[in-house]
Structure 1
Amino acid sequence: MPVVQMMERYFKVLEAHVDLFLKSVRYALGSVIMFGMAPEYFGLWLVWRGVSMMLPGWMFQWGDDKLYSLYQRLVLFFFETCTRLEVVLYGDAYDVLKKRESVLYLGNHQSTVDWIIADMVSLRCGSLGHLRYVMKDTLQLIPLYGFYFHVHGCIYVKRGKFSQQKMIASLDYLKNPKIPTWLVVFPEGTRYYPGHPKVIEKSEQYARDNNLQVLKHHLVPKTRGTWLVTEHLHEKIDAIYDVSAFYEGSVNEEGIRGNAPQLIGMLMGKCKKIHIHIRRIPMSEVPKEEEQLRVWLHNLYIEKDALAENFFSKDKEARASVQTRLGGRPHSLGLWPTLSSFLVFTAITVPVLCTKIGRQLYLQLLVYGTLGGYGWLALRSVC
């Protein structure tokens, strides 16, 4: 083998190893900072909670939303800015970017980072701090954040033991017209993993047993949680944002759809582009009766399924041309919206970790805050 070819091969291998090393460092650093920041964030929240105790609830929520936005910008710094992820928007996306409204966000569910898609959309709409999620109850176990999510306005629900009254109590808090809200629901409940065919087969069988059209790229959507939201917040919510996200690279060379990238893969930069289709549906078009909503929601998912076929087609050329055919337009955040948050949290962290008092306070917040949060959630029995 000629020396030149040997050198080229050597440098290609070296370049691949360096690239993997840098991606691993980014994953490790990002994970440590995002999760390690919890005590400092909780400390900031406690200060605001104390300052705002004598203020109206909506004023507390205003400050809390600002803090939440600050932290989620840090998340996007690692997941979007550092990975140089390209975000392509479709449908009504550029129309909703101009609006400031309360929203029921219905998203397709295929990855552990689908919630970050909501971050990406809401930040571009100027509503990042208003995000609140209907979440599975096991997320209460996340130290500090499990407690914080609930006080921020997120709603925990138990699978198989769904408590309508507890969900309604949480929704009543969000009725306040002075508390803008983007309430995020993933109606499928469970993520669509081609690698877990039993879940998909169960969903398909349920559709056949109930005379519903079988979905090819989604699980059958569950109705109860979505219906409770639309019933109790019908006058508060301006519109439903039907959001469909598609992670590029989910289909292999043979045209077979695999699992979407998960948290580690995203931080490692394995997904270079995300396609986000947004359809805005005014609340006046959404049925109020549960059975009517059930039919309406399944029909919505039939339409989402047809849209998904463009991105999961076995035809490689069809997938490659989808952005042109559907009128997708890239939308970059720029550096400052996320870098600013990273700099703020860095300025907070340095004195905490570099002083004895700071380290002691950090550990106390981590231990006592976690235990206190668990105790509060248990006593309140929030789901």
Structure 2
Amino acid sequence: MAGFKQLLYYTFRVLHMIVNNIMAIPAFTVWIILLSPLRKLQPSLYWQIERILFKAILSFVVMWTNSGGYKIIESGDDLATLHDKRVLLLVNHQSTADIPCVMSALLPKSNVIGQIMWIMDYILIYTNFGWVAFLHGDFFIQQGKEYRDSQLDLLKRHLLDVYLPTDKRWIVLFPEGGFLYKRRPRSQAFAEKNGHPVLNNVALPRIGAMNTIIDTLSGPAQKSADEPSRKLEWVVDMTLGYPKGEALDMPGICIGWWSPRNIHIHYRAYPIADIPVTCDAQQQWLYDRYTEKEALLEHFYLHHEFPDMSLQEKRNLPMMNQREVPFDRVWFLIAYAFYAVSAYVFWIYIYYPMWSLISSLVSYIF
């Protein structure tokens, strides 16, 4: 009986996820199309609305995480003063579950999730989330040595043509360039050959994207006193830890396959003035951060929480007590109702008429 109930539970979550996607993603797309004239006439107003629509649709992903019993526990620097700043967020990459975990951590933080720019593998553009991310203005990067220089040039153009004009603030970057289980063997071989630390809990990070972002966004802080800063202001190092080092995956989170557990996140923030200027010095700085991540995760896997570092070294922001990241159910219900009503209205006035027209044309032709 328990197995049958569990099967029903998985089935319900899968069906609910399918309904969510069918309901929300086309509705988001239609809203973006309907609002497109406003993008030309009043771009600032358009992007304010788009941020709300984007935050609302990401709350669905956070709901799948929270309702499955996967709680996010955060510690380290308190980022409350950075919500409206231009921030580069560096995250260690273990699996597809990292994405909903980062979303869950950032959703309650004011407008951060609405003004965020993700840097993700180009293959994700062919997924449901990838389509939404494309419309939002995220950047899709292609891996491989043969693409490296051209991709970094495209990233620079994207920052200048999309990130700044649309007034996005936070940038999410996974510097390891792939999942840990894929990158670790090559990373360790490279470290042994070149005299770098041999890491087990993280892979050696790549510097290209970070260097491009810092160089591109190192111009004048602002054009006028009334405009927001155009310069990158902070780099936040986010260390993500799964119990026992057993990374989950996004499909498993969505259907509730994994048993409920706490997933821990630790923040450490650095003002941009603390980041070296040259590429070689930035690479060493980034290696140092990932060596620290290695030690943090080693402690976490042994003690099931990140160490209290408040008395060990100077921090640039006040530190928070370890706490669970809240899930705003009221906001989610509003977002859910909005997309449900939008889907119903669009079905009556857009989807069904278009479907009827296409069916008639196909019948006429064939």
TM-score (norm 2): 0.81
Is residue 61 from structure 1 mapped to residue 47 from structure 2 by the alignment?
yes
- Name the aligned partner's letter for residue 132 of structure 1: M
* TM-aligned CA deviation for residue 146 of structure 1: 4.1
The answer (yes or no) to whether the contact 2:56–2:335 under 8 Å persists in 1 is: yes
Instruction: Name the Cα RMSD after superposition.
Output: 2.6
With over 3 angstroms needed to count, the CA separation of the structure-2 counterparts of 1:224 and 1:283, relative to structure 1, is: same
Q: Which residue in the other structure is 2:198 paired with?
A: 214
* TM-aligned CA deviation for residue 361 of structure 1: 4.1
Is residue 181 from structure 1 mapped to residue 161 from structure 2 by the alignment?
no
Partner-residue secondary structure (3-state), 1:214: coil
The answer (yes or no) to whether the contact 1:98–1:125 under 8 Å persists in 2 is: no
Q: Which residue in the other structure is 2:211 paired with?
A: 227
Is residue 261 from structure 1 mapped to residue 254 from structure 2 by the alignment?
no
Equivalents in 2 of 1:324, 1:287: separation in Å?
27
Q: Which residue in the other structure is 2:79 paired with?
A: 96
With over 3 angstroms needed to count, the CA separation of the structure-2 counterparts of 1:363 and 1:140, relative to structure 1, is: farther
Partner-residue secondary structure (3-state), 2:41: coil
Deviation per residue, 1:269-316 (Å, 9 max, x gap): 324211111111111111121111000001100001100112223xxx
Q: Which residue in the other structure is 1:240 paired with?
A: 235
Question: Any residues of structure 2 matched to 1:288-299 within 5 Å, and which?
Answer: 288-299=277-288
The answer (yes or no) to whether the contact 2:240–2:263 under 8 Å persists in 1 is: yes
- Name the aligned partner's letter for residue 113 of structure 2: L
Number of residue pairs matched? 328
Correspondence for 1:190 among 170, 178, 182: 178
The answer (yes or no) to whether the contact 1:27–1:264 under 8 Å persists in 2 is: no
Is residue 139 from structure 1 mapped to residue 124 from structure 2 by the alignment?
yes
- Name the aligned partner's letter for residue 167 of structure 2: I
- Name the aligned partner's letter for residue 49 of structure 2: G
Is residue 201 from structure 1 mapped to residue 185 from structure 2 by the alignment?
yes
Deviation per residue, 1:84-132 (Å, 9 max, x gap): 432211101xx21344222101001011131222322322221110111
* TM-aligned CA deviation for residue 34 of structure 1: 2.5
* TM-aligned CA deviation for residue 325 of structure 1: 5.9
Correspondence for 1:70 among 56, 79, 93: 56
With over 3 angstroms needed to count, the CA separation of the structure-2 counterparts of 1:335 and 1:232, relative to structure 1, is: same
Deviation per residue, 1:238-287 (Å, 9 max, x gap): 21111111223xx3xxxxx44x1101211233242111111111111111
Is residue 129 from structure 1 mapped to residue 114 from structure 2 by the alignment?
yes
The answer (yes or no) to whether the contact 1:352–1:362 under 8 Å persists in 2 is: no
- What is the identity percentage for the equivalent residue pairs of Structure 1 and Structure 2? 21
Question: Any residues of structure 2 matched to 1:1-383 within 5 Å, and which?
Answer: 14-34=1-21, 37-56=24-43, 58-80=44-66, 82-92=67-77, 95-100=78-83, 101-126=85-110, 127-142=112-127, 146=130, 148-160=132-144, 161-162=147-148, 163=150, 164-173=152-161, 176=164, 179-193=167-181, 199-234=183-218, 235=221, 236-248=231-243, 251=244, 257-258=245-246, 260-269=247-256, 270=258, 271-313=260-302, 318-319=303-304, 322=305, 328-353=322-347, 355=348, 358-361=351-354
TM-score (norm 1): 0.77
Deviation per residue, 1:195-219 (Å, 9 max, x gap): x5xx421110011122111111011
* TM-aligned CA deviation for residue 16 of structure 1: 4.7
Equivalents in 1 of 2:165, 2:277: separation in Å?
20
The answer (yes or no) to whether the contact 1:204–1:219 under 8 Å persists in 2 is: yes
The answer (yes or no) to whether the contact 2:88–2:173 under 8 Å persists in 1 is: yes
With over 3 angstroms needed to count, the CA separation of the structure-2 counterparts of 1:272 and 1:31, relative to structure 1, is: farther
Equivalents in 1 of 2:307, 2:355: separation in Å?
50
Unaligned runs of 5+ in 2: 222-230, 310-320, 359-366
Partner-residue secondary structure (3-state), 2:58: helix
The answer (yes or no) to whether the contact 2:115–2:168 under 8 Å persists in 1 is: yes
